[in-house]
């Protein structure tokens, strides 16, 4: 299992559109994707799950990835967390 | 007798029409035992399938009417139809508790709606609406009751509803619907955002009393003030009829101007740019037809937090602004703290005169570590657009040379690291300290551009604190003294072939703009909302004529004389 923490710069945090982009990307990988923020945990392949994390700008979000292709998934999804804007 | 209701103005404009009240939400489905949960799951799956077909149509309709970006909301809805936390969980509940699908879906969706509605972030709270919208759509199909179709409304009307879902809003027939008013909602509701892109007046959050009005009641919507006038009097009808006509004409003119470059009556081109303080302000700059960003204040990155932003984080923010501006010029000002802007986590000593103290570049040259981080972030972002770096608060040449030296060092380091940089990054400085204005000829040899920060330049020139009411009378942007300084700066830059912008409030002040055009200012940077009115103003001015008139203004005795002269000339021209 891989674990890494990222800072979200998106000023609106993680609402529908970024959550959608993230979930679509996560669904492209066979491994299990979990996100943790401020003590809450959610399935990275569920946009509702991501929304309920209440991710805001400057939050430090931890990404946990477990299973096949975990390294590629960490790279792609980590980049989304830090660069995504909208 | 008329009476008024007030709410939140969510999308500007006026409308006068009878209302159509949409039927209220159906009552919550009851829990029912089902004998065959498998069959119930199949019924649920069929309803999801029907919802998918319907949403796909709405998505296409929205894409045609509002573009791909707005249609994304419905891609989000389509995704919710596949969301494991919503759909799988509902299926599990049907199986485990042997209950009807309507009830299971309501329970599962309800949990998430409650979670989202309890969030601090308004945008996330609003997302509860999406889940409600989708759950209601699937439930309609389960119950075999079709969703109310707003695309078929034919008579001119104003829609009144508890709330409008994004899908309701997207389907409004705008031939008929003049505007809408809702009981709940905020400026960031999907329905409010949609209303702004559809350009239809909207007032939200008006409260329960709204639903007491019968369909057919005549109302006036003033969606600039957030007011609804119920059963208007003849006088009110006449008054708002005129306002609406004037507003609509004005909007047509400004829309036309948005597509045009800024040019004076005699064909001289200048650039109208926007000042921004946050990354998300770029959208507003573009919507208002800004030809660039004339001032991006980077303080926001450092404020409202308890530690310094990293190089990576800053780079990402600058990159987004540069990319969104698509090659249009973006002037980014390095950190300007001190004065009235404090960063508690830096624990800086209190100063008795903070505006004359260790602020902006003075501070950055003391805290080189922090300055270098920002410069590296800027340089690394430079390849994503047309970046111009600007240093604030320079008083003497040595400060500029020192800042340029640090920048050159960081540039050399990045090049050695093999980092790709922008082809040509202009470097400029603010003119806000009188000493820099007076010695502009010396500075002009060392920079690519100047940007005059009038708010500080006026306060320092007049030695008058701009926050102090008792000396506020000295804040005189059009005083000949200030005009002379502006003139000196522009002349000095011209001799070296450099350009001059202005990023203080004066740049968007309709009394100052003719004079600044005449003095030969190249770039005017202002709040986004002033861009189009200023473009309209400049289109009616002859630069040649105003260069002569501005010369005269320089020799006048007071700001009052200058303002009267400008008003007189503007009237004479019409």
pLDDT digits (tens, 9 = 90+) for B194-204: 788 778 999 99
Domain span at residue A10? 2-83
Q: What is the ipTM of this complex?
A: 0.83
Which residues of B are annotated binding-site positions for Mg(2+)? 432, 456
Does A58 participate in catalysis according to the annotation?
Answer: no
Give the residue from B180, B181, B177, B182 showing the smallest Cα distance to B157.
B177
- For residues B375 and B445, membership in a common domain is answered with yes
Q: Tell me the average pLDDT across B364-392.
A: 97
Rounded to a whole number of angstroms, the distance from the CA of A85 to the nearest CA of chain B is 7
Distance CA B466, CA B312 (A): 36
All residues at 6 or more sequence positions from B263 whose CB lies less than 8 Å from its CB, including other chains: B269, B270, B538, B539
- Residue A23 at interface with chain B, using a CB cutoff of 8 Å: yes
Residue A40: helix, strand or coil by DSSP?
A: strand
Q: Which of B302, B454, B408 is nearest to B363 (CA)?
A: B302
- Range in B188-197, B320-329, B563-572 with the lowest mean pLDDT: B188-197
Mean pLDDT calculated for residue range A44-53:
88
Q: With pLDDT > 90 as the criterion, what percentage of chain B qualifies?
A: 67
Higher-pLDDT residue of B563 and A51 is B563
> Is there a single domain that holds both residue B404 and residue B363?
yes
CB atoms B121 and A11 under 8 Å = no
Which of the residues A48, A56, A84 would you substitute to probe the B interface, choosing the one with the greatest number of B C-beta atoms within 10 Å? A48
Cβ <8 Å between A16 and B130:
yes
Tell me the CATH number at B271: 3.20.20.60
Which domain CATH number covers B119?
1.10.274.10
CA distance linking residue B365 with residue B351, whole number of Å:
18
Question: Which chain A residues are within 8 Å of B73, Cβ to Cβ?
Answer: 16
Predicted local distance difference test score (pLDDT) of residue A86: 47
Average of per-residue pLDDT across B56-75: 83
Contacts of B529 (CB under 8 A, 6+ apart): B284, B288
Q: Examine the domain organization and report whether B238 and B163 are in the same domain.
A: yes
Is pLDDT of B331 > 90?
A: yes
Partners of A9 on chain B (C-beta within 8 Å) are: 313, 316-317
What pLDDT was estimated at residue A66?
A: 94
B223: pLDDT strictly greater than 70 = yes
Q: pLDDT tens digits, residue range B424-470? A: 999 999 999 999 999 999 999 999 999 999 999 999 999 998 778 88
In a domain, B298, yes or no: yes
Give contacts of B75 with chain A, Cβ < 8 Å. 20
pLDDT of res. B92: 95
**Choice among B318-327, B330-339, B347-356, B371-380 with the minimum mean pLDDT:** B347-356
Residue B524 near residue B501, CB atoms below 8 Å: yes
Residues B154 and B139 grouped into a single domain: no
Instruction: Say if residue B409 is in the same domain as residue B285.
Output: yes
Which chain A residue has the Cα nearest residue B111? Answer: A52
Average the pLDDT over B538-563 and give the result: 97
In a domain, B4, yes or no: no
Given B190, B364, B479, B522, the catalytic residue: B190
Weakest-pLDDT range from A8-17, B7-16, B45-54:
A8-17
At residue B573 the predicted structure's pLDDT band, cuts being 50, 70 and 90, is low
Pairing label, strands B14-21, B157-161: parallel
Instruction: Give chain A's radius of gyration (CA, Å).
Output: 11
Number of structural domains (chain A) is 1
Helix (H, G, I), strand (E, B) or coil at B120: coil
Q: Does A18 touch chain B (CB under 8 A)?
A: no
Tokens of B191: 């329905």
- pLDDT tens-digit map of B98-147: 999 999 999 999 999 998 888 877 777 777 888 888 998 999 899 988 76
Is residue B459 located within the same domain as residue B509?
A: yes
Residue count of chain B: 574
**Shortest CB distance from A48 goes to which of B112, B123, B310?**
B112
Look at residue B518 and tell me if it is in a domain. Answer: yes
B127–A46 CB contact, under 8 Å: no
Report the pLDDT averaged over residues A40-61: 86
Rg of chain B over Cα atoms, rounded to whole angstroms, equals 29
Domain boundary residue, one of B143, B169, B200: B143
Within an 8 Å CB–CB cutoff, is residue A84 touching chain B?
A: no
Three-class DSSP category at B277: coil
Q: Which residues pair with B160 in a beta bridge?
A: B21, B181
Chain B touched by A13 (CB under 8 Å) = yes
Interface of B with A in 307-336 (CB under 8 A): 310, 312-313, 316-317, 320
Tell me: pLDDT of B150 over 80.
Answer: no
Clarify whether residues B382 and B510 are in a common domain. yes
Where is average pLDDT lowest: B303-317, B385-399, B516-530? B303-317
pLDDT at B307: 87
Check the CA dihedral B237-B242-B247-B253 and report its sign: positive
- A52: nearest CB among B115, B126, B312: B115
Up-side HSE of residue B426: CA atoms within 13 Å toward CB? 22
Residue A37 maps to which CATH number?
3.30.1340.10
Which one of B115, B124, B281 makes the best mutation probe of the A interface by having the most chain A beta carbons within 10 Å? B124
Q: Does residue B136 share a domain with residue B185?
A: no
Q: Does B405 score more than 70 pLDDT? A: yes
Distance CA B370, CA B373 (A): 5
Count other C-beta atoms under 10 Å from residue B51's C-beta: 24
Reported as a single tens digit per residue, the pLDDT across B471-514 is 889 999 999 999 999 999 999 999 999 999 999 889 999 999 99
Inter-residue contact B250 to B267 (CB < 8 Å): no
> Which of B77, B109, B143 is the last residue before a domain boundary?
B143
Confidence class for position B269, pLDDT limits 50, 70, 90: very high
**Cβ atoms of residues B224 and B16 within 8 Å:** no
Q: Are B41 and B139 within one domain?
A: yes
CA distance B269 to B421: 30
Rounded CA-CA distance B69/B210 in Å is: 32
Res A13 pLDDT > 70: no
Q: Would you call B79 and A9 a contact, using CB atoms and an 8 Å cutoff?
A: no
B38 and B105, same domain (yes or no): yes
Nearest CA in chain B to A21: B76
- Average of pLDDT values for B347-351? 84
Q: Has residue B393 got a pLDDT over 50? A: yes
Q: Phi and psi of B26, rounded to 5°?
A: -70, 155
Asked whether residue B255 carries a pLDDT value surpassing 80, the answer given is: yes
**Structural domain count of chain B:** 3
Task: Give chain B's largest Cα–Cα span.
Answer: 94
- Point out the catalytic residue in the list A2, A15, A43, A78: A15
* Mean pLDDT computed over every residue of chain B: 91
Out of B143, B173, B198, a domain closes at B143
What secondary structure letter does DSSP report for B269?
B
Tell me which DSSP letter residue B529 carries.
G
Q: Which residues of B are annotated as a binding site for phosphoenolpyruvate?
A: 297, 333, 455-456, 466
Handedness of CA B452, B455, B456, B459 (dihedral sign): positive
Which sign, positive or negative, has the C-alpha torsion B223, B227, B229, B234? negative
In this structure, the answer to whether residues B321 and B469 fall within a common structural domain is yes
Average pLDDT of the segment spanning B536-543: 95
Residue B424 lies in a domain: yes
Q: Which domain holds residue B37?
A: 24-143
Are β-strands B177-182 and B202-204 bridged in parallel, bridged antiparallel, or unpaired?
A: parallel
- Does residue B332 sit within a domain? yes
Helix (H, G, I), strand (E, B) or coil at B184: coil
Contact of B164 with B20, CB cutoff 8 Å: no
In a domain, B172, yes or no: yes
Q: Does B508 fall in a domain?
A: yes
Residue A68: CB atoms within 10 A of its CB come to 10
Q: Is residue B509 part of a domain?
A: yes
Same domain? For B427 and B282 the reply is yes
């Amino acid at each position: 299992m891989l674990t890494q923490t990222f800072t979200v710069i998106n000023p609106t945090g993680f609402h529908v559109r970024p959550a959608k982009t993230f979930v679509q990307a996560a669904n492209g990988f066979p491994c299990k994707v979990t996100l943790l923020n401020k003590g809450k945990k959610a399935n990275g392949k569920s946009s509702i799950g991501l929304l309920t994390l209440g991710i805001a700008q400057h939050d430090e979000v931890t990404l946990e990835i477990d299973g096949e292709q975990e390294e590629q998934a960490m790279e792609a999804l980590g980049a989304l967390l830090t660069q995504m804007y909208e | 007798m008329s009476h008024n209701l007030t709410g939140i103005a969510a999308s500007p404009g006026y409308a006068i029409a009878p209302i159509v009240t949409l039927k209220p939400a159906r009552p919550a489905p009851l829990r029912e035992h089902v004998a065959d949960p498998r069959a119930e799951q199949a019924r649920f799956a069929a309803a999801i399938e029907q919802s998918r077909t319907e949403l796909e149509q709405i998505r296409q309709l929205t894409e045609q009417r509002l573009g791909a970006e707005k249609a994304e909301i419905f891609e989000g809805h389509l995704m919710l139809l596949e969301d494991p936390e919503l759909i799988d969980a509902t299926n599990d509940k049907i199986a485990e508790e042997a209950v009807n699908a309507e009830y299971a879906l309501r329970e599962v969706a309800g949990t998430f709606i409650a979670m989202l509605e309890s969030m601090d972030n308004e945008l996330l709270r609003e997302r509860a609406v999406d889940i409600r919208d989708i759950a209601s759509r699937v439930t309609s199909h389960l119950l075999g009751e079709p969703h109310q179709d707003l695309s078929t409304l034919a008579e001119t009307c104003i829609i009144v509803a508890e709330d409008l879902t994004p899908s309701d809003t997207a389907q409004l027939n705008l031939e008929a619907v003049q505007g809408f008013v809702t009981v709940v909602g905020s400026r960031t509701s999907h329905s409010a955002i949609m209303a702004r892109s559809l350009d239809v007046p909207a007032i939200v959050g008006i409260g329960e009393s709204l639903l007491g009005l019968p369909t057919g009641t005549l109302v006036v919507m003033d969606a600039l003030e957030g007011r609804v006038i119920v059963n208007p009097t003849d006088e009110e009808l006449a008054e708002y009829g005129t306002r609406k006509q004037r507003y609509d004409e004005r909007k047509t003119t400004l829309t036309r101007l948005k597509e045009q470059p800024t040019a004076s009556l005699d064909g001289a081109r200048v650039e109208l740019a926007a000042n921004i303080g946050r990354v998300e302000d770029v959208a507003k700059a573009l919507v208002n037809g800004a030809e660039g960003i004339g001032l991006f204040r980077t303080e926001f990155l450092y404020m409202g937090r308890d530690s310094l932003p990293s190089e990576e984080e800053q780079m990402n923010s600058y990159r987004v602004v540069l990319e969104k501006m698509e090659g249009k010029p973006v002037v980014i000002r390095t950190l300007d703290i001190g004065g009235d802007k404090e960063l508690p986590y830096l624990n800086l000593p209190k100063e008795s005169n903070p505006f004359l103290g260790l602020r902006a570049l003075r501070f950055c040259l003391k805290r080189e570590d922090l300055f270098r981080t920002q410069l590296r972030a800027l340089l690394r972002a430079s390849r994503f657009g047309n970046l111009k770096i600007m240093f604030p608060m320079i008083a003497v040449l040595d400060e500029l040379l020192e800042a340029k030296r640090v920048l050159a060092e960081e540039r050399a380091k990045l090049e050695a690291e093999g980092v790709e940089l922008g082809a040509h990054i202009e470097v400029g400085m603010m003119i806000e300290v009188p000493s820099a204005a007076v010695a502009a000829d010396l500075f002009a040899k060392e920079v690519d551009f100047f940007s005059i920060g009038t708010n500080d330049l006026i306060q320092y020139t007049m030695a008058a604190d701009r926050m102090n009411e008792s000396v506020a009378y000295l804040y005189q942007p059009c005083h000949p003294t200030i005009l002379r300084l502006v003139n000196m700066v522009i002349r000095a830059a011209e001799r070296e072939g450099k350009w001059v912008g202005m990023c203080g409030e004066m740049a968007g002040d309709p009394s100052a703009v003719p004079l600044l055009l005449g003095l030969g200012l190249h770039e005017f940077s202002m709040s986004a909302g002033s861009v189009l009115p200023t473009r309209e103003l400049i289109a009616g001015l002859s630069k040649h004529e105003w260069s002569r008139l501005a010369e005269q203004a320089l020799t006048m005795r007071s700001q009052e004389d200058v303002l009267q002269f400008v008003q007189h000339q503007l009237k004479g021209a019409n």
